[in-house]
Amino acid sequence: MATVSASQSPITSVSPTMTVPTIGVQPQLLSRLHLELRGRRFSVDRETIMNLPESVLLCLFPNGLVLSRQSAAFTDGGEHEEDEEIYAVDFDPDCLNFVLSFFRNSQDTFYGTGTHPGLYAAQQHLNDTVPASDFAPSAQNPLLSRQAIIVLREELEYFAIPTGDKSAGTDPSGLPNARLLAIKRACGQKLLEKRSIFTALQRNVNKENNVAEQHLIDMLCMSGFDREDTWGYRALEPSRCCISSIALVLLKTGIVHPAEPAPGQERGQVTVDYVQMSTAQKLLLFWRKPARKCWWDGVDVDIAGPGEQPHIVKLWARRVWTLELSLI
């Protein structure tokens, strides 16, 4: 990865936009997709799939998103085999459930349900008063009519260096022995407990005096995150020295809805903080354009158990952040 100067954006690489391939005659579109994620089944409708962050879709469907009837990876083998195709996906099912739940709750809050009106109904009049966005491809400001969600993901790959422990090593074929495997697992658990989002990046800022990275933290904290926030979902990947984390927050658009009025009182008028909206509009640059930042981070961890002598292990971690804005 190329080194960025202080004047450059802290996001150093932009991944391509996912497209749905079409060859010849368009096949019949599927209304729902049936997925199997590491042994767990999910049935998700097409609209929900298309609303997911593109960075998540790229993990779910690394070979391309399929929304039409194709030859499935495998079928359930039951009597409805011709009607249902099940796609095997190597992705954390609990992470997908976390994302689906957050998006569903955000959608209900913004657009409303059958029994409760949403925020959108109270702010529709802003379409005629708020200027269009300079960052959106259309004339209308999308922050007025759609719910915006900031998506921040981290892939942390770590390497343990057990200095002073001669019993930890590899066998003649190069595979780690039982002691080294135990050290790697213990290191993974210690890293898993460090749930603060910005601690590692702030450490890198302080070490390198990187103004661009500090600007990234400041921008995210002005737009919906808090400096003390923790990852919404964080887990070790199976059979890998890798931790995957994701945090989702509603974008602070500057649209201010009054509190629920007391019985007998009228609801106040929706107002707009144009300074905050200007900040929020900058995040539209990451709408449908996931961007990545990568850096190395070195830390010492004590993996000793309760009552044991300290056992310090040097860890090198390669952290990859993916930042994206989703509109639902």
Would you say 145 and 255 are in contact if contact means Cβ atoms under 8 Å apart?
A: no
pLDDT band at 75 (very low <50, low <70, confident <90, very high): very low
Question: pLDDT tens for residues 85-118?
Answer: 888 999 999 999 999 999 999 999 999 988 888 9
Q: Is residue 206 part of a domain?
A: yes
Over residues 192-219, the mean pLDDT reads 93
The model's pTM: 0.83
Instruction: Report the pLDDT averaged over residues 277-284.
Output: 93
Question: Per the structure block, which two tokens stand in for 129?
Answer: 């008063």
3 within some domain: no
- Residue 23 counted as domain residue: no
State the DSSP string of 29-71: BPSEEEEEETTEEEEEEHHHHHHS-HHHHHHH-TT----B---
Residue 245 lies in a domain: yes
**Three-class DSSP category at 48:** helix
Query: Are 35 and 61 contacting, i.e. CB atoms less than 8 angstroms apart?
Result: no
Give tens-digit pLDDT for 133-168: 655 554 578 999 999 999 999 999 999 988 777 788
| Number of domains into which the chain is organized | 1
User: Tokens for 18?
Assistant: 């996912």
Max distance between CA atoms of the chain, in angstroms, equals: 80
3-state DSSP assignment of residue 185: helix
**Lowest-confidence pick of 47-56, 171-180, 312-321:** 171-180
pLDDT tens across 238-268, in order?
989 999 999 999 999 999 998 876 676 666 7
Q: What domain range includes position 164?
A: 143-259+267-327
State yes or no: pLDDT of 305 exceeds 90.
no
pLDDT value of position 155 = 97
135 within a domain of the structure (yes/no): no
Q: Which of 157, 147, 245 is nearest to 196 (CA)?
A: 245
